[in-house]
């Protein structure tokens, strides 16, 4: 946890992806902890934050590809100055599409689920489904667990792409333990 209290490396630094990946794993574990404590809306928020941090890591890892695919200088500048460091919620669908084009299959669908959980965080269960896609706390809790599983799976697949540290190994191991009910 201490690592998350340190300033992030610059988004242009190689260590940035590993730092955001660590953030994703810690936030995902907090989401599971909140679920155990019956705080479903808080868990949804933490799961969303974890996904957003994972997207930041992936955007940094794929930045060269994304810059090559950008159509304008303005879009390239936006990717470097805004997208990677901030991952604006309003642009997560577009950024996920770009990541999918860079080879991260299925990421758009997961981002849609994360955004649905973001709505749930603010609106809670909604039997009419006007403000939230989840009618009950149980539906949202299942989606939180599903998103956390996907974060763990994708983080595990990045072992060769980031500088894999003891902190990352411990955070992933702890998250997997929580997913097993430990």
Task: Break the chain into its structural domains and give their ranges.
Answer: 10-179
Q: What is the pLDDT of residue 1?
A: 61
6 — pLDDT class (breaks 50, 70, 90):
confident
Q: What is the pLDDT of residue 155?
A: 98
Q: Which runs of consecutive H residues, i.e. helices, occur in 62-136?
A: 63-69, 73-78, 84-86, 92-101, 107-123
37 — pLDDT class (breaks 50, 70, 90):
very high
Alpha-carbon separation of residue 139 from 36, 106, 145, 163, 174 (angstroms)? 15, 21, 10, 36, 24
5 — pLDDT class (breaks 50, 70, 90):
confident
Q: Residue range 116-120: average pLDDT?
A: 97
160 — pLDDT class (breaks 50, 70, 90):
very high
Structure tokens at 147: 């998103």
Between the two ends of the chain, the Cα-to-Cα distance in Å is 19
Q: What is the pLDDT of residue 12?
A: 83
16: pLDDT strictly greater than 70: yes
79: pLDDT strictly greater than 90: yes
Do 182 and 37 meet the contact criterion of CB atoms below 8 Å apart? no
Q: What is the pLDDT of residue 38?
A: 97
123: pLDDT strictly greater than 90: yes
2: pLDDT strictly greater than 90: no
Length of the chain: 182
Structure tokens at 148: 């956390």
Q: Residue range 102-118: average pLDDT?
A: 98
* Range name among 3-12, 47-56, 74-83, 135-144 with the lowest pLDDT average: 3-12
């Amino acid at each position: 946890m201490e690592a998350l209290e340190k300033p992030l490396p610059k988004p242009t630094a190689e260590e940035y992806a590993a730092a955001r990946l660590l953030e994703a794993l810690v936030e995902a574990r907090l989401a599971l902890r909140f679920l155990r404590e019956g705080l479903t809306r808080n868990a949804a928020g933490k799961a969303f934050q974890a996904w957003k941090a994972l997207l930041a890591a992936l955007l940094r890892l794929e930045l060269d590809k994304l810059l090559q695919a950008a159509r304008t200088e303005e879009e390239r500048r936006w990717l470097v100055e805004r997208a990677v460091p901030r991952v604006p919620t309003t642009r997560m669908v577009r950024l996920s599409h770009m990541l999918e084009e860079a080879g991260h299959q299925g990421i758009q669908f997961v981002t849609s689920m994360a955004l649905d959980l973001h709505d749930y965080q603010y609106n809670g269960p909604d039997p009419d489904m006007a403000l939230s896609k989840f009618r009950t706390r149980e539906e949202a809790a299942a989606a939180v667990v599903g998103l956390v599983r996907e974060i763990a799976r994708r983080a595990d697949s990045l072992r060769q792409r980031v500088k894999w540290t003891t902190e990352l190994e411990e955070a992933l191991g702890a998250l997997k333990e929580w997913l097993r009910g430990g």
